[in-house]
Structure 1
Amino acid sequence: MIKGIGLDMIDLERVKQVLEKNPRFIERVLTEKEIKQFEKYEGSRKIEFLAGRFAAKEAYAKANGTGFGKHLSFTDVEILQVEDGRPHVTMPIKSGETVFVSITHTARSAAAQVIIEI
């Protein structure tokens, strides 16, 4: 049974501008493990990665039904790549839930969809 579906989209230029103004934005959005993956990329691919993770985490919060705030923050959600390159939600892990995530990019935006199944 589906618990929730979340979808989010963000403009890459907006992420780039936020990052230029506040380099600590990375630490607000990404976990330590995600930062290690982020640091492997160069140039515009870094912005795509950050924007994709931002969108995926927003989509997760929507699918979870909580949004971000008092009970959930960006760094409470971790999305890592598995060996074949697919994104995988590694936390939070809730008993009995399966989380599906898809992240995509265009030249101008990143989007993500999350489905939580119970």
Structure 2
Amino acid sequence: MIAGIGLDIVELDRITKLDERSDKFRLRILSTREILLYDMLPPHRKIEFLAGRFAAKEAFAKARGTGIGKDCRFEQIEILPEPSGKPVLYFDGGEVAGFVSITHTRTVAAAQVVLEK
């Protein structure tokens, strides 16, 4: 049974500007393990990765019905790939029952989250 659906889209230029100012935005959005993945990417893929994770975490918070705030913070949400590349959602260290899809074009990144009960 579907418990929630969330969708988010973000412009890559916006994320690029935030990331170029300092690493604070990146460190606020990505978990330690996500930063390790980010650091291994070629430069042209880093913004796509960061923007995709940002959109996915926003979509997850929307699917939960809380939004980003005191009950659902960026650092509590983690999206890690399975060996196949499929992204898997984690919240407070536990795997989330549901699905996440992340996509991007040259100008935007988008993500959709479907949570199950």
TM-score range, shorter chain: over 0.9
Residue 19 of structure 1 corresponds to: 19
Deviations for 1:60-80, whole angstroms, at most 9, x for unmatched residues? 000000001111110100000
Deviation at 1:22, TM superposition (A): 2.4
- Structure 2 alignment gaps of length 5 or more: none
Instruction: Please report the TM-score for the alignment, with normalisation by the length of structure 2.
Output: 0.94
Residue 58 of structure 2 corresponds to: 58
Deviation at 1:26, TM superposition (A): 1.0
2:105 counterpart letter in structure 1: T
Is 1:86 aligned with 2:83?
no
Task: Name the SS for the 2:40 alignment partner.
Answer: coil
Residue 77 of structure 1 corresponds to: 77
Q: How much identity, in percent, do the aligned residues show?
A: 49
Instruction: Please report the TM-score for the alignment, with normalisation by the length of structure 1.
Output: 0.93
CA RMSD between the two structures: 1.2
Q: Distance in 2 between matches of 1:13 and 1:104?
A: 16
Q: What is the total number of aligned residue pairs between the two structures?
A: 116
Q: Distance in 1 between matches of 2:109 and 2:2?
A: 24
Q: Distance in 1 between matches of 2:113 and 2:22?
A: 27
